[in-house]
């Protein structure tokens, strides 16, 4: 599994489910200078945070497990109200509640969101109301 292939597959899935292919939220990814925050709407900052990796099977072709978190930060202008924010949080939870993403690489890597996503209310941050949805994942891949 190539790191970039995994990141690309996760971003494509976020766009399909929550961005232009789904609920049409504006999505900001890490280090995206082209992103323009909407003035009066809910928007999402998506951060893909790989964590530790370990060997889960030792053989002629070892199998490794890469774990991480897809962090979906739901933002809205302060005073916007909680109904639309809560709806976006619920949509994020539903989008990554026990689902798999096929990376499409030669190793057949699948990113598994097999632990329940959960929200954390941040509150006011940089003049906006923010709720983070944490979506743990793991990806098993075989050495080629």
Of 101, 117, 118, 119, residue with least CA distance to 109:
101
pTM of the model: 0.90
For the chain, how many structural domains are there in total? Answer: 1
Cα separation of 38 and 41, whole Å? 6
Q: Which residues contact 103 (CB under 8 A, 6 or more apart)?
A: 1, 5, 6, 9, 109, 110, 111, 139
What's 43's domain CATH number? 3.30.2000.20
pLDDT for position 76? 94
pLDDT of residue 133: 98
Low pLDDT (below 70) residues in the chain: 1, 144
Neighbours of 58 (CB within 10 A): 8
Which CA distances in Å does 5 have to 50, 105, 108? 13, 7, 11
- Domain extent, residue 82, equals 3-142
pLDDT tens for each residue of 53-92: 777 778 787 788 889 999 999 999 988 888 999 999 999 9
Q: Which helix (H) or strand (E) holds 10?
A: helix 3-17
The rounded distance, in Å, linking the Cα atoms of 111 and 9 is 9
The pLDDT value recorded for residue 1 is 53
């Amino acid at each position: 599994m190539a790191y970039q292939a995994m990141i690309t597959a996760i971003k494509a899935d976020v766009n399909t489910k929550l961005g232009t292919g789904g609920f049409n939220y504006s999505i900001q990814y890490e280090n995206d200078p082209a992103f323009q925050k909407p003035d009066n709407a809910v928007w999402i900052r998506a951060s893909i945070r790989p964590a530790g990796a370990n060997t889960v099977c030792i053989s002629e072709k070892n199998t490794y497990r890469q774990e991480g978190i897809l962090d979906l930060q739901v933002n809205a202008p302060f005073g916007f109200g909680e109904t639309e924010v809560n709806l976006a949080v619920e949509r994020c939870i539903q989008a990554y509640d026990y689902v798999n993403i096929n990376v499409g690489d030669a190793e057949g890597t699948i990113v598994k969101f097999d632990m329940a996503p959960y929200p954390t209310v941040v509150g006011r941050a940089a003049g906006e109301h923010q709720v983070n949805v944490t979506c743990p994942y793991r990806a098993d891949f075989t050495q080629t």
